[in-house]
Chain A
């Protein structure tokens, strides 16, 4: 019995040590990003390509999920609001919920699944097939070409995708309201715009930059440090999604606390 307890204790200590070790490595990886990002040469062409891949190519997915978010939120909220005779608040409630919380978190999670795993698998496969080594022996900095461009692209594109998802979600809300009643589009948008203030948009937008940064950084870290063998490519992609998704919730929790403190 004692032996089992001791071995369990040891395995817990080992996994805690490994977690701290990983956190340390990710921190060093992030620090390397900040030291490399300002140094020339700047890989503008690759950065623009990544913005296209990460931003533009995610539009269909974000459109569908954004629309469904707005529609479902409206349909689910209507009965509760109707009970209190507050149906007229539906546009404001949907818009605020979407902008402050639902659109940023859901869009970031969708992108963690699509973008972070994609980056993890791509860089992991490049590592395994020695393409990253090939860059290094050609005196080209693979970190600058592969990592810096991808992290910058996700940091810039995720906020833009969230803003787009906000708009699409609000349109979904309009469709949702019109399933059961007849609301004029002008009246709906006026009510939405009147209910939103700068303090609703600003903190929500700021946190999306952090979401984007972590989605890119975790994908790159997992791929760039993939072990040898094809199995590690799958592990890198899978681990990138899980870690990026978890970090989105942690950042969201911290962002809500900080917003409450300052705004």
Chain B
């Protein structure tokens, strides 16, 4: 338990870990955009090479990157299956209503690769950035939305408080569960409906306690002079360094190359 359950931050010291979280956030988006530009074999090889280089630079063990694919495994299989079976084109193999086309195979492979690269690319960001730094980055990147009165600071504050309380509430849920089991509650047997119903005596006390905590926390924040984002300074403000500028330039180069691949169709 603890922070391990939140996000999947892998604490080592690497170039990628030291980059400004804003750079990593923008970089992930740039990578995804670039990924959807390339089409040909060489384009995908290029995207794969960039990904491998990033993984190498991040010093995160390869299996941690693969682990991030687990939740999307079924999505991946289904996407590929549909693409193989439902794309019209030159038929290679046919049985009953099922047929495999050349175009379908091609499509399935490209979609599958895109999905794998996309998930791996974004997991490099979450593995090298603490959830808090990401929240900070998003607050700064989206601060332009303040013009149209989006409460950017407040949303970011809510996110970081949520991050802080997730482990506390998980622990509490565990405690409540044990307390109810001690009184004979049964969470394991019965059908889906019965099991869902058994959750009620867990959720009600959890919510009551969460509200009480929220009330206490609001009071503690006010006692420490919290009055929203205006006039607030930061202990660890985000500052761009030279390596961040270099990263932005490399991103532009990457995007340029991807566009070249798209135009030439390689």
**Are A and B associated in one complex?**
no
